Structure 1
Amino acid sequence: MTTVLLSSVLGSSWAVAAVLDAPPSSYLLAWFGIVLAMIDLRHHRLPDALTLPLGAALLLLQFHGLGAAVLSALVFGGAHLAVRWWRPAFMGGGDVKLAFGLGAALPPQSLLFAAITSSAVTILVAAFRRRRAVPHGPGLLAATWALTTL
């Protein structure tokens, strides 16, 4: 069942990106995003073997605006790191590493909206699963994909 769901969501994400003539980062986020979200929802872990290459690839795709991409990555990741230091129970280290990588794909002016959207998605996941503790990775990934694609 999980494989069918994964394939359906991935196919839908790619189709939307193709119709909207989305940037290459959208396709990368669709593939990595679905896989990472499924892992995070099931195991509450974001493996470095996937998050670090995703972050590096997203940064490399922004070669035309590398300075802004690095700034966005530092601000978005730094904000998540601050939450991790302030309240370690609220966010895992994998979420922080993921936020640094995802920040590279976002323009600086959309970082606040990305943070709000990712939090809203996480709250919706918690309501849907009827749990208080849910992973934040799927929210981060969904918000970043939406902001880079739509």
Structure 2
Amino acid sequence: MPTVLLASVLSALWTVAGVLDAPPSSYVLACFGVVLTAIDLRHHRLPDVLTLPLGVTLLVLEFQRLGAALLGAVILGGAHLAVRTWRPALMGGGDVKLAAGLGTVLALPLLLPAAILSSAVTLAVAALRRTRNVPHGPGLLAATWVLTAL
């Protein structure tokens, strides 16, 4: 059953991206995002074997705007690293690596809205699950996908 659910979610994201004529990065985000979200919600972990290839793939797709992509990675990843350094219990290292990779596809004016939207999604997941211990990766992935697809 979980495989059918994951395939259905991926199909829906893929269809929406196609209708919106979204950039190729949104398709990559959909594929990796569905799997990473499922893993993070279940195990509270974002494995390097998925987050690092995602970041590299997104960087390659943004090669025509390499300077802005690297700056976005440094800013979004750096902000998450600061939170991780300041309050390690609030954020895992996987979230920092994921944020750096996702920052490559976000234009500079979208970095703040991405941070706000990802936090809102994380809070919504916490409210739905009725717990304070929820992963931040799904929020990051959802916010980035929405902002790149639109």
Alignment TM-score, normalising by the size of structure 2: 0.99
Amino acid at match of 2:5: L
> CA-atom RMSD, angstroms?
0.5
Corresponding residue number in structure 2 for 1:124: 124
Are residues 1:102 and 2:108 paired? no
Structure-to-structure mapping, 1:25-104, within 5 angstroms? 25-104=25-104
| C-alpha distance in 1 between matches for 2:7 and 2:128 | 21
2:77 and 2:115 map into 1 onto residues whose CA distance is: 11
- Unpaired segments ≥5 residues, structure 1: none
TM-score by length of 1: 0.99
Q: Percent identity?
A: 72
Regions of 4+ moved over 4 Å: none
* Distance (whole Å) between structure 1 residues aligned to residue 79 and residue 100 of structure 2: 9
Paired residues in the alignment total: 150
Q: Is 1:113–2:113 an aligned residue pair?
A: yes
Deviation, 1:3, is 1.3
User: What 5-or-longer segments of structure 2 have no aligned partner?
Assistant: none
The one-letter code sitting in structure 2 at the alignment partner of 1:144 is: T
The one-letter code of the counterpart of 2:10 is L
CA deviation digits over 1:1-36, x for unaligned, max 9? 211211111000000000111100000000000000
